[in-house]
Amino acid sequence: MVKNDLSASEIIGKYLDSLKIIEKSNLEGEYKIGNKEGKKIIKLFKGLEQNHEQALEVLSQLITNESVKVRICAAAHCLSLNILLNQAIKTLEEIASLKIRIFSFEAEMTLKVYREQGYLKVYPAQKI
């Protein structure tokens, strides 16, 4: 279990910092850099899993961010935590329809898995 001692604004800042790096690494093919930052996102998410109120506060702000990558990540995390479902689905549908390089495909596949399974499980049983 991961305990989150950070405030919502600190968590948002860390999400934004890491996702900016991940977004850039996705576009440039620098996957090692993105994977390193991905571990930070997993740790933040695991903390949110333990605090529903904080998860709502954090993800409701991230899902409206200007960055496509941030919105995809926030929407996937919402689906996984079973919160803000309508907004998460709508966000992913919008991004999928934009046809923005890898990001629209990522949004489309996230929705596909969610709809096929009826749920979305992100980062299952990973050591961080």
- For the chain, 128 residues long, give each residue's pLDDT as a single digit of tens: 455 689 999 999 999 999 999 999 988 988 898 889 999 999 999 999 999 999 999 999 999 999 999 999 999 999 999 999 999 999 999 999 998 889 999 999 999 999 999 999 987 655 54
Residue 52, token pair as written in the block: 């529903």
The pTM assigned to this predicted structure is: 0.90
CA distances, 6 to each of 10, 39, 71 (Å): 6, 17, 21
**Full set of structural domains in the chain with CATH:** 8-117 (1.25.40.70)
Distance of CA 17 to the CA centre of its chain: 13
